[in-house]
Amino acid sequence: MSVTLADVAARAGVSAATVSRVLNGNYPVAGATRNRVLRAVEELEYVVNGPASALAAATSDLVGVLVNDIADPFFGIMAGAVQSEIGHATRKLAIVCNTGGSPERELTYLTLLQRQRAAAVVLTGGAVEDPAHGEALAARLRRLDAAGSQVVLCGRPPLGAATAGPHPLTVTFDNRGGARRLTDHLLTLGHRRLGYLAGPAARTTTRHRLEGHRTAMAAAGLADDAERLTAHGAYDRASGYDGALELLRRDPDLTAILAANDTVALGVCAALRDRGLRIPQDVSVTGFDDLPFAVDAMPALTTVRLPLHAAGARAGRLALGREDAPPGGVATFRGDLMVRDSTAPPRR
């Protein structure tokens, strides 16, 4: 039996009129009430505007692109490349959905895109490592697939093998390899007192980059130092500034700091300058991603260049069915080490 508006209202504990207002978006509804309604819609798999079987055969001209933060060049470059592929090749409309890094908002956008019968959905950036969220995400992706939407992951790893249902096409980065090459570069220069500023602990990108760093440190016999001299924070400048001060508190004789990304590295450089330390004469600094400003920083950042535009463009083509699926459904882009002026051998 089909789920009705009344069923959703009963599950959410509101009136049918309130459910209608939330779904139509034509009347203000309190945030907590709106969330209850959307949760009930998802749990009951309620489909707006007719039976699900009718919707499965007819997608719209809409393509959804989910990003953590559109103001972050990492996401902006990929989203722009996806949108360019879609705009140049078809008459479909790309909608960028800014989640703010919220797992709940990510799920909400996926439900809304299913309701709008999106032709395709591209999810960018690292995934949240939480079993409950992983199950909820997989459920949303299964519903999108059943409704005829092509789902592509861009900049995040593929779904785990144990995940039930179809596995989306994936365009990912070799974050482990890039981080290991950065750390190996510093070790080759002679550094042995290295601090690492990682991103949020619950993100796949954070874990993979940290694993690459620790693999290199362990190979050099520095596994204990790698554990002690790691601090976590957000992927922003403020976290780089505060994190650098924390690492210096733990070991005032650090000769190098590896940052989670280029934006964090800018904060690290500011903190070092405020402490009267020179880069790289006193402390070497590295970033990650090679965002547009990295080469113009003072000094220019040693970093790992990720082909963000190329990855986004490929994700866009896969979403539109304009390119054959990669072997195994996964395309991996390698990051290239870019050695610039922010790293040098330690002072003897």
Beta-carbon contacts of 248 under 8 Å, excluding residues fewer than 6 positions away, are 195, 254, 271, 275
Q: Are 196 and 258 in contact (CB under 8 A)?
A: yes
Q: Which CATH architecture has domain 175-306?
A: 3-Layer(aba) Sandwich (3.40)
Dihedral sign for Cα 217, 221, 223, 225, please: negative
Residue 291 has pLDDT above 90, yes or no: yes
Q: Which CATH architecture has domain 5-48?
A: Orthogonal Bundle (1.10)
* Mean pLDDT across the chain: 91
CA–CA gap between residue 40 and residue 63 (Å, rounded): 25
Residue 93 is inside which H or E element, if any?
Answer: strand 93-98
Lowest mean pLDDT among 147-151, 297-301, 342-346: 147-151
Question: Which three-class secondary structure state does DSSP give residue 170?
Answer: strand
Residue 26 has pLDDT above 60, yes or no: no
DSSP string, 251-310: -TT--EEEESSHHHHHHHHHHHHHTT--TTTT-EEE-SB--TTGGGSSSPPBEEE--HHH
CA angle 246, 247, 252 (to 5 degrees): 110
Residue 183 is inside which H or E element, if any?
Answer: helix 175-189
| Same CATH fold assignment for domains 5-48 and 62-173+309-333 | no
Question: Other CB atoms closer than 10 Å to residue 174's CB: what's the count?
Answer: 17
CA–CA gap between residue 240 and residue 242 (Å, rounded): 6
State residue 54's pLDDT score. 39
Query: For the segment 245-264, what is each residue's pLDDT rounded down to a tens digit?
Result: 999 999 999 999 999 999 99
Chain center to CA of 321: 23
Nearest to 138 by CA among 115, 113, 163, 105: 163
State residue 56's pLDDT score. 46
State residue 5's pLDDT score. 82
State residue 47's pLDDT score. 65
End-to-end CA distance of the chain: 77
State residue 53's pLDDT score. 40
Going by pLDDT thresholds of 50, 70 and 90, the confidence category of residue 38 is confident
Fold of the domain built from segment(s) 62-173+309-333:
Rossmann fold (3.40.50)
Query: For the segment 81-128, what is each residue's pLDDT rounded down to a tens digit?
Result: 999 998 876 778 899 999 999 999 999 999 999 989 999 999 999 999
Nearest to 17 by CA among 33, 1, 39, 31: 33
**Domain segments of the chain: what residues?**
5-48, 62-173+309-333, 175-306
Question: Other CB atoms closer than 10 Å to residue 28's CB: what's the count?
Answer: 8
Beta bridge partners of 95: 64
Beta bridge partners of 169: 152
State residue 226's pLDDT score. 94
- State both tokens at 199: 């991103």
Chain center to CA of 63: 18
Query: For the segment 170-223, what is each residue's pLDDT rounded down to a tens digit?
Result: 999 999 999 999 999 999 999 999 999 999 999 999 999 999 999 999 999 999
Q: What are phi and psi of 257, to 5 degrees?
A: -130, 125
Q: Regarding predicted confidence, which is higher, 175 or 27? A: 175
Going by pLDDT thresholds of 50, 70 and 90, the confidence category of residue 44 is confident
